[in-house]
Chains A and B, each alone.
Chain A
Amino acid sequence: MATRVIDSRDTVPAVAADGRRRWFRGQAFWLVAPALLLLVICLGLPLAIVTLRSFSEPQWGWQNYAWFFGTPVNLTVLQRTFAISAWVTLVCLIAGYPYAYVMTAVGPKMRLILILCVLVPFWVSGVVRTLAWVILLQDSGVINSVIKAVGLSPVKLIRTQTGVVIGMAQVLLPFMILPLYSVMKTIDLRLMQAARSLGASPARAFAQVYLPLSLPGVYAGAIIVFILALGFYITPALLGGPRSTMLSTLIQNQVLSLLNWGRGGAMGVVLLIATFVLLALAAPLSRQPHKTGSRR
């Protein structure tokens, strides 16, 4: 099911039969209209209000943005939000790339097991999973018990940036593995054999043949993981400490605790713009060349 989600995110439906198209063009819009209306009311309006308040509270002007970019703490948090997201993306890529490759290389039974392992995290409520990470990472937790049993000195994991990255990467790993797998399963492994038979070393065959063909999956997975990580709230709030606060927590704090809609709004707009700029920059990279080819 979830493979399908990632697969079809950017595919355009096959061209409909031409005759039918003429009958339906007018009606087609009305079929989409309820969804669009809901989007305007529940997404457009709220985001417009957030933007408006960032300029209008307490009085009109750029004051909230001047405050945001003029306060060192905010810039630290902004920078940290990007840094944590980058770390999470990197960890997901390092863990996910070989995993997705193995998924394409094993038999169907083993593949089912590997896919189940990717999907299991989705079965349990996100909040409960974060609690599980508290249990695993806490000072007397499972990981530290194992470390102590091996004879090493315990590591501080809970309320640290490392802990946040470990927890977030586990939550986001499926979003990296699924697009990687959907691209990798289309790669013809005989190309690697061909490269080997022409005298390339395994490393060279991988670097010059397999890796370039898998890049669309890497880009697609990296974009979605990075963007979802930027907006993460629950995991950093529960696993992190004051030194690993992310932008979302700051926004929530401004609005719910300090009732400062202007400043919270300005931070929200910054996060929103960062998200959409990244999406716009990265979208062309993740198009699969062979798919675009068949579309035309």
Chain B
Amino acid sequence: MKQPGRILLGLYCLLVAVWLVAPTIVVVPMSFNDKKSLAFPPSGFSWQWYQNFFTNPEWSASLVGSLKVAVVTALFATVIGTLAAFGLDRMKSRVSGVLRALLITPMVVPGVVLAVGIYAVYLDTRLVGTMTGFVLAHTMLAVPFVIIAVSASLEVFDKRLETAAASLGATRLTAFRTVTLPLIAPGILSGLLFAFVTSFDEIIVALFITSPYLKTLPVQIFSSITRDADPTVAAVGTLLFIVTSLVIGAGLLIGSRQGKN
């Protein structure tokens, strides 16, 4: 009686896996549609939506806007989040517990409520549609991810190594630069990546604070979906999927190589 149960469980998992992956895959054939429609399956093949993405100024401007915001956000969030993770690591556990919970609240605050509040502040301070406005809001949203990633690697970091470095005559800064930093670099790097993705993918706050002068890619995608059935969105989705797969694949490859050495 054991065997059929296992097969059933396996089939169930396969079904769940399909449910998880299907929406990612279904976008790919849509992006080669020859007509301006989202009916499935597409009736013919063409590259026109990719062409449209790269030549239409609306799309390319929003891609550039998103990249700019995400790069600056990732840098700021990584510095601020790494500092905070170090600070929390060095505090009494009760204090750091409270502060940690506080610093992670942006992850659970309902997006629209936050967006309405930020919009109100930005209207008063003329930050709507500005680079500063986007970077400030996105950095706040991304810092929790950096804190979590860096804290995780600080937890497994053996602090006696710093003491050893100090006993061998290294100053605190030298010990940090030559011992601590290289060892927690993977945590910082994954924090940086998370921060970039958080900003690059953020839509709710962006929808409120966007302007014709600064639009991010998700906002452009959203307005395209609500306006008409434009397969360019599917082309963008496919491109994002390919780029992310390449980045993650490279990361896994580097990771497994380091593991072997």
Could you tell me which A residues sit within 8 Å of B by CB distance?
A: 1, 4-5, 7-9, 11-17, 20-21, 24-25, 27-36, 38-39, 41-43, 45-50, 53, 95-96, 98-99, 101-102, 114, 117-118, 120-136, 138, 140-142, 145, 170, 173-174, 227-228, 230-231, 233-234, 238, 248, 251-252, 255-256, 261, 264-265, 268-269, 271-272, 275, 279
Bound CA–CA A134/B224 (angstroms): 13
Known contacts A16-B89, A132-B26; is A8 also within 8 Å of B151 by CB? Answer: yes
In the complex, are the beta carbons of B40 and A141 less than 8 A apart? yes
B149 touches A12 (CB 8 A): no
Closest residue of A by beta carbon distance from B38: A135
> Is A47 in contact with B114, judged by CB distance below 8 angstroms?
yes
Closest 5 interchain pairs by CB?
Answer: A46-B117, A231-B110, A31-B87, A128-B237, A132-B23
The 8 Å CB contact of A128, one of B27, B87, B139, B148, is: B27
Cβ–Cβ contact A31 & B86, under 8 A = yes
Residue-wise interface mask of B (187-229) relative to A, using a CB-CB cutoff of 8 A (1 in contact, 0 not): 0001001100100110110001000000001100110011000
Q: Is B137 an interface residue (CB 8 A)?
A: yes
**Per-position contact with A for B34-54: 1 when CB-CB < 8 Å, else 0?**
000011100000000000000
Contacts of A14 in B (CB 8 A): 155
- Report whether A102 and B13 are in contact in the complex, using a CB–CB cutoff of 8 Å: yes
Give the chain A neighbours of B117 by CB distance below 8 A. 45-50, 268
CB distance from B154 to the nearest CB of A (A): 7
Chain A neighbourhood of B130, CB < 8 A: none
Tell me the B82-112 residues at the A interface (CB within 8 Å): 83-84, 86-93, 96-97, 99-100, 102-106, 108-112
Selected from A13, A53, A231, the residue in CB contact (under 8 A) with B154 is: A13
Contact A13 B17 (CB under 8 A): no
* Known contacts A13-B155, A16-B89, A45-B117, then 4 further A-B pairs from the complex at CB < 8 Å, ordered by chain A residue: A29-B87, A42-B136, A120-B24, A121-B20
B-to-A contact residues, CB < 8 Å: 9-10, 12-13, 16-17, 19-24, 26-27, 30, 38-40, 80-81, 83-84, 86-93, 96-97, 99-100, 102-106, 108-121, 136-137, 139-140, 143, 145, 147-149, 151-152, 154-155, 159-160, 162-163, 190, 193-194, 197, 200-201, 203-204, 208, 217-218, 221-222, 225-226, 233-234, 236-237, 240-241, 244-245, 248
CB-defined contacts of B90 to chain A, threshold 8 Å? 16, 20-21, 24-25, 27-28, 31
Residues in B with CB closer than 8 Å to A17 are 159-160, 163
Distance between Cα atoms of A25 and B248 in the complex (Å):
38
The residues of A that contact B137 with a CB separation of less than 8 Å are 42
B111 touching A231, Cβ below 8 Å:
yes
Residues in chain A near residue B110, CB distance under 8 A: 230-231, 248, 268, 271-272, 275
B94 to chain A, nearest CB (A): 9
A272 contacts B151, C-beta separation under 8 Å: no
Bound Cα distance A227, B104 (Å): 14
Check A136–B22 contact: CB distance below 8 A. yes
Determine if B112 and A117 form an interchain contact, defined as CB atoms under 8 angstroms apart. no
Q: Is the CB of A238 within 8 A of B225?
A: yes
In the complex the two chains form, is B20's CB within 8 Å of A46's CB? no
Q: From the candidates A124, A130, A272, name the one contacting B109 in the complex (CB within 8 A).
A: A272
Q: What residues on A are CB-neighbors of B93 within 8 Å? A: 12-13, 15
The answer to whether B20 and A4 touch across the interface, beta carbons within 8 angstroms, is no
Known contacts A8-B155, A17-B160, A21-B90; A170 and B20 CB within 8 A of each other: yes
Nearest-CB residue, chain A, relative to B166: A20
Please tell me if the beta carbons of A9 and B24 are within 8 angstroms of each other in the complex. Answer: no
Closest B residue to A1 by CB, please name it: B190
Given contacts A114-B13, A129-B24, contact A34 B83 (CB under 8 A): yes
Q: Hey, which chain B residues are within 8 Å of A256, CB to CB?
A: 208
> In the bound complex, do residue A47 and residue B109 qualify as a contact, i.e. CB atoms below 8 Å apart?
yes
A34 touches B236 (CB 8 A): no
Question: Among the listed A122, A131, A231, which residue makes an inter-chain contact with B237, where contact means beta carbons less than 8 Å apart?
Answer: A131
Asked if A136 and B26 sit within 8 Å, CB to CB, the answer is yes
A residues near B221, Cβ cutoff 8 Å: 125, 127-128, 131
Task: Say yes or no: A7 contacts B163, CB within 8 Å.
Answer: no
Q: Chain B residues near A16: list those with CB within 8 A.
A: 89-90, 159
Contact yes or no, B116 A264, CB < 8 A: yes
Q: CB distance A248 to B112 under 8 Å?
A: yes
Contact A170 B19 (CB under 8 A): yes
Name the A residues within 8 Å of B217 (CB-CB). Answer: 125
Given contacts A25-B90, A99-B13, contact A39 B103 (CB under 8 A): yes
Closest to A102 in B: B13
